[in-house]
Structure 1
């Protein structure tokens, strides 16, 4: 859990919550996406306030990855997770997915198993599939998990393209390492500690809800 968080992220901005395992990064991101029940306080996402407008927030915010709650099934092939997203994602089409692949800079083979992809490709695949839903905000956790140092720049560049893919979503990301400086970046450092409640008031991503 987390507490003492008070921040505002502009539409099309980038929030990066960073800190070690156990600091509350994933809980915070899931709360911002309306997928974790609040024990107190409030979060505003666009024109909606949690917890009252949970359903509308969940329809506005797509979650690319927030393991173990949200993750691609490694035993499926790329073409299978694409087909699954077309069935489950509102308005998702083959064309939207291909456009999202181009935005993040990947061209995966449909026959490849998700579990056989490298960490960079797996992260960008999950991000692209979520982007194809054309959400108002997009959550992607563990951005730097398993990545070699020379791949970190590629990930942040891809996420920057995502939020600038007009009208791009607000990106809500989580990682261990401090993110590099970027325009529109709101960085939140979360220390390792035991937390048991939400602050009295939390301001979160304010973004356009049009898809």
Structure 2
């Protein structure tokens, strides 16, 4: 089993994404060390999801420079995708409401081995590979703060029966199964009670403390949160670079492409 690894450093200067309808965002700067919690703050329609997709190699940038884990964007988007994972991005990481929690975890682990496993890993003894798979399935929910035993039917609970915060934690657990250097999570604070928001931010901090870099989209960063804050509002304007309608269309197009990546 692989040992712990450092997260990915995230840097950007004058970073921007432009589509057929105009700029989704532009002029974004950041310098985050490995294992940082990076909060992307902005109102809905400001291009914040596009920024998340761009920093995880799922959307091509149009100006400025950026690097994730030493890989340059957009030239090395495929490499960035290999070291990053997404959680709770509508249209990309949607959970199947009919699947149980256990089924989602098993499916993700199988996909991880099938598409992301190294040749060396595939040649290891089957018993060793099965043991590691079970370990990943067991430890990922814990790292995401998802208590399987506390669910209505334990691991056999269907997604449709999960509370929103539980579904968010499951999506986060699925991202953690691949042990990425960077996790991008969308809508971190959407439709959560204040106590739930505080719990999720604390969980994300715990994940970064374990070494993984986290980029989290939110509408408002808590005042007491120790994080690197990015904004999708251009520094030379008083609002989003494009109108919300245009940006929402760009995001929808980006989500379609990200789902294919």
- TM-score category by the smaller chain? 0.7 to 0.9
Which has the higher Rg, Structure 1 or Structure 2?
Answer: 2
Aligned CA RMSD, in angstroms, stands at 2.0
TM score, norm. by length of structure 2: 0.69
Shift of 1:194: 4.1
Which residue number corresponds to residue 103 of structure 1? 143
Displacement, 1:32? 0.3
2:86 pairs with 1:63: yes
Matches within 5 A, 1:158-177: 158-165=203-210, 168-177=211-220
CA 96–180 in structure 1, closer or farther in 2 if over 3 Å, else same: farther
- Aligned residue among 129, 146, 155 for 2:200: 155
Specify the alignment match of 2:159 in structure 1.
114
Stretches of structure 2 that go unaligned for 5 or more consecutive residues are 1-23, 118-131, 149-153, 234-238, 248-261
Count how many residue pairs are aligned between Structure 1 and Structure 2. Answer: 194
Q: Which has the higher strand share?
A: 2
2:26–2:241: 8 Å Cα contact kept in structure 1? no
Helix, strand or coil for the counterpart of 2:136? helix
Give the SS at the match of 1:42: strand
1:157-191 CA-to-partner distances (Å, cap 9, x unmatched) read: 111111112xx2100000112234334x1112334
Unaligned runs of 5+ in 1: 198-211
Q: Post-superposition shift, 1:144?
A: 0.8
Kindly indicate whether the alpha-carbon contact (under 8 Å) linking 1:105 and 1:158 is maintained by their aligned counterparts in 2. yes
Per-residue deviation, 1:101? 1.6
CA contact (8 A) 1:64 1:126 kept: yes
Check conservation: 2:26, 2:232, Cα contact below 8 A: no
2:41 aligns to what?
Answer: 18
Deviations 1:53-81 (A, max 9, x none): 11110001111122223322223211211
In the TM superposition, 1:60-209 aligns within 5 A as: 60-89=83-112, 90=116, 93-108=133-148, 109-165=154-210, 168-183=211-226, 185-191=227-233, 193-195=240-242
Instruction: Tell me the equivalent position of 1:203.
Output: none
Assess if the C-alpha contact under 8 Å between 1:15 and 1:171 holds in 2.
yes
TM-score (norm 1): 0.84
